[in-house]
Amino acid sequence: NINLELLGCPFIDRGTQIFVDTGTGTDLDNVYTVNNITHTVRSGEYLTSLSLALTAQGAISSTRRKLSKKLKIAAKSIKKNT
């Protein structure tokens, strides 16, 4: 699970799916589902706190891995033909 706090966003509801990109290039970069949401409104401040659960475990890295393999094959093919 991931806990995330961001600038207030009234459009996110429980059950919303969000892609989180941590920039790690690992399975941590993935699609998560909002389990719990809290909006906090104070003078001059509006925050949204989310509790997220992993939705598509491994799906993103699997797609990334497949794409990487295809790009390597294409690059080898281009080298052979030049």
For 13-49, write each residue's pLDDT tens digit: 899 888 888 888 777 788 899 999 999 999 999 999 9
Is pLDDT of 72 > 60? yes
pLDDT bracket for residue 58 (50, 70, 90):
low
Q: Can you give the pLDDT at residue 62?
A: 62
The closest of 26, 24, 36, 12 to 57, measured between CA atoms, is: 26
**Average pLDDT of the residues in 48-73:** 77
Evaluate if pTM is beyond 0.75. Answer: no
Mean pLDDT of the chain: 84
